[in-house]
Amino acid sequence: MNTEQNNSKAIENIETKSVMLEIKDLRKSFGDNAVLNGFNLKLYEGENLVIMGKSGSGKSVMIKCLVGLLQADSGSIKIMDQEINTLNQKDLNILRTEIGFLFQGSALYDSMTVRENLEFPLRRHKSRFQNTSNMDELVTEALESVGLLHAIDLMPAELSGGMKRRIALARTLILKPKIILYDEPTSGLDPITSKEIIALMRSIQKQYKTSSLIITHDVDCARVVSERIILLVDGVNYVEGTYSELSTSTDVQVKAFFK
């Protein structure tokens, strides 16, 4: 059996699993500038789906629409069978606890220590965790999973870029989300730290059995973590496939990404 057949088989296997997130015909404009022009996506349980596209192609807008940070003009976004456009604020906040979001710039709270950064989401959702384990255990577990337990009392300003990204990942994990959204997880990092973050993403996916939607234009990241890749061009799905399918494509636009 050759590689392409293996990949196709892998995609078929994934498609038998339940859909965690589904986007249909998503459209979003800023004034006259149409950023998303009918984008579609399905993320299956336990899948690592990578969205690639050049800057300004609408990747970040799409991911922000997913968590309600931006309101789409039209289209449907279903997360675990809940249409987010019809949810009230309270239900949306409950749903958000099932979704982890790793921001491009880490977005750690500057005025809080690492411990307080990790405790912050826990304190907001005490009712979910009061019967399971105490806060210290959860913070320790999350920091251990990113290998930075020793940084627990440091301030974000004292951390390197890679450490910040890891702590942000730990904060994302602390609510034990079912879906993790990664917005350019390796951008601004040196190649070695990027590899560490990529390895961490894979180990987290194995350990926590999360479904991941990864926005990146880092080909190495896509190669290592992706089970499926969607190429976004001008706000619509241009092509979809596995890494090996897209990297050997003869299409000019696709080749431009993978050369």
Partner 1 sequence: MRNSSSMKSFLIEVGELALFVKRFFKEVFTKPFEFKELIRQCYAIGNRSILLVGVTGFIIGLVITLQTRPTLEEFGAESWMPSMVSLSIIREIGPVIIALTFAGRIASGIGAELGSMRVTEQIDAMEVSGTNPFKFLVVTRIVAATFMLPLLVLFGDAIALFGSYIIENIKGEVSFMLYFNKVFHVLDFSDLIPATIKTFFFGFAIALVGCFKGYNCEKGTVGVGAAANSAVVFSSMLLFIIDFIAVFVTDIFFDL
Query: Which positions lie near partner 1, rule CB under 8 A?
Result: 64, 67-69, 89, 93-94, 96-97, 99, 101, 103-105, 107-111, 120-121, 124-125, 175
CB of 240 to partner 1, least distance (A): 27
What is the H or E stretch that residue 82 is in? strand 82-83
Please state, in angstroms and rounded to a whole number, the distance separating the CA atoms of residues 83 and 21. Answer: 10
Among residues 43, 48, 89, the alpha carbon closest in space to that of 198 is found at 48
CB of 169 to partner 1, least distance (A): 12
The residue (of 32 and 110) whose beta carbon lies closer to partner 1 is 110
How long a stretch of residues is the chain?
A: 259
CB of 71 to partner 1, least distance (A): 13
Please state, in angstroms and rounded to a whole number, the distance separating the CA atoms of residues 36 and 23. Answer: 12
Q: Side by side, which strands form the sheet with 48-52?
A: 99-102, 179-183, 211-215, 48-52, 228-233, 236-241
The residue (of 42 and 125) whose beta carbon lies closer to partner 1 is 125
CB of 138 to partner 1, least distance (A): 14
The residue (of 174 and 204) whose beta carbon lies closer to partner 1 is 174
The residue (of 103 and 238) whose beta carbon lies closer to partner 1 is 103
The residue (of 176 and 195) whose beta carbon lies closer to partner 1 is 176
CB of 98 to partner 1, least distance (A): 10
Sign of the torsion angle spanned by Cα atoms 151, 156, 157, 163:
positive
